A = this chain, B = another copy of it.
């Protein structure tokens, strides 16, 4: 297992996380895992055409979700996530049933009204930009929200996350270039969830970089590599990195070594992979050892979530599907919802058209 290598910002002695926080972390990680397992089950039973998600990234993504400054507009954090960010959304407070709705492509799906694959979130009120399937484009979009936040000041930052294979796309390079311009550094936290795979292709055959995090160096971008299977390390590394970006208003590149516990997606079978470390198992072991939670309590919680999600999935099955003619909705926005949400700063006039 890869150990935490906090290269920068580093050094400071690490205070232990409070038991309350550890319990909260565990709760959301577990919920996220149960949700993914429900999604996979649904897909295998024909309730939803496709599954892709984040089992194995819960430690990293839960910590991120808990640390986000949640809200709308540049004063809060913008999130440009990928299709494995389930735990981030749950930790931010998303309703699990909404994810099931997207899985079942119901009209009630709040993220895309039955249009997009599961785990493709979009929550404007929390600054979560629409997750889209094309790899790495979020790294180009992130530049823009970060420029806005550089301008507005404050402590809002941009967080952008993607996989390891995707860093071969030019968009990752674009983000490095734009975030580090002299006298124009951007408050942007880039997170690479490195599971060492792109679908069936091992990173070891495609990438010469010892760590992807090293790609920050030529640009003077500080970076760190963290064990993404250790929830506490993730929390601390993210806390530090976010703190740095928030207050220094400069970019940071964080690489987390994570697992991919059910393979790439339903296209590759979505079966449990026994030979990769499981961040949830490891975390539960720790919690048990430290007597923060008992095995029984955790098992009961799992059973409860599993049951709740099963029931939710049944409810979702009864919900209406979108109607064909709805494809014509939202091709164009009729009003400027983004700027209206920002209040008086927005222009008040609209065009005559």
Chain A residues engaging chain B, CB cutoff 8 angstroms: 168-174, 177, 180-184, 204-210, 214-215, 217-221
Contacts and interface: CB of A to CB of B under 8 A. Distances in A.
Identify the interface centre among A205, A206, A208, A214: most chain B CB within 10 Å of its CB: A208
A214 B207 contact: no
A211 B44 CA distance: 52
Contact of A170 (B174, B210, B221): B174
Contacts of A208: 177, 180-182, 219-221
List the number of copies, as a whole number.
2
12 contacts: A170-B173, A177-B206, A180-B208, A181-B205, A181-B207, A182-B207, A184-B205, A208-B220, A209-B220, A210-B220, A214-B217, A217-B218
A210 B206 CA distance: 27
Contact of A168 (B177, B215, B217): B177
Contacts of A177: 168, 206-208
Given A169-B170, A177-B207, A181-B208, 6 more contacts: A172-B173, A208-B221, A209-B220, A210-B220, A214-B218, A218-B218
A170 B180 CA distance: 16
A181 B169 contact: no
A90 B79 CA distance: 53
A218 B206 CA distance: 14
Nearest to A206: B181
A92 B206 CA distance: 36
Contacts of A171: 170
A184 B207 CA distance: 10
A133 to B, nearest CB: 19
Contacts of A169: 170
Identify the interface centre among A174, A205, A215: most chain B CB within 10 Å of its CB: A215
A131 B172 CA distance: 27
Contact of A182 (B174, B183, B204, B219): B204
A325 to B, nearest CB: 39
B168 A174 contact: yes
Nearest to A216: B218
Contact of A218 (B168, B205, B215): B215
